[in-house]
């Protein structure tokens, strides 16, 4: 998971006011987030304690849906959507696996089978590697 970004009529919303208060996770939610929304840029102990990625994402994007979703619901929704649109499994089912080359259309079409809408597939410039899939 990179993030859960609310939008309004195709426009991504971010840094909405008032900024919500972030409450550090513990127990099961901490474990679920740590397993599924990995904070790779930080040492594990620091990441679990300070939760910098989740804090950043919640203040930047969760702030824009706080009238509808509190912090726990926002992150729970992101985890449920990850499971609903299990992209790794979807790609595997379409025989798209790491270490081989595929066309943009092959990846796009595979993801569309679960998203039911056109996904936002991004590749790195120059290296022609899959960078991000937005649904």
For the annotated catalytic residues, the residue numbers are: 2, 57, 61
Distance (Å, rounded) from C-alpha 23 to C-alpha 19?
13
Is residue 85 within 8 A of residue 114, CB to CB? The reply is: yes
Distance (Å, rounded) from C-alpha 105 to C-alpha 102?
8
Per DSSP, the residues of 15-69 read S-SSPPPP----HHHHHHHHHHS--TTS-HHHHHHH-HHHHHHHHHTGGGGTTT-
Sign of the CA dihedral 34, 42, 87, 12? positive
């Amino acid at each position: 998971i990179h993030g859960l970004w609310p939008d309004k009529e195709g426009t991504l919303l971010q840094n909405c006011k008032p900024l919500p208060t972030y409450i550090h996770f513990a127990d099961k939610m901490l474990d679920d987030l740590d397993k599924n929304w990995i904070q790779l840029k930080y040492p594990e102990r620091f990441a679990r304690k300070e939760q910098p990625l989740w804090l950043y994402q919640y203040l930047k994007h969760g702030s824009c849906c706080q009238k509808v979703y509190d912090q726990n619901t926002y992150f729970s929704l992101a985890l449920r959507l990850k499971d609903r649109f299990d992209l790794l499994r979807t790609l595997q089912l379409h025989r798209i696996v790491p270490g081989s080359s595929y066309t943009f259309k092959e990846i796009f079409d595979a993801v569309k089978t679960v998203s039911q809408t056109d996904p936002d597939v991004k590749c790195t410039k120059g290296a022609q590697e899959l960078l991000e899939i937005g649904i």
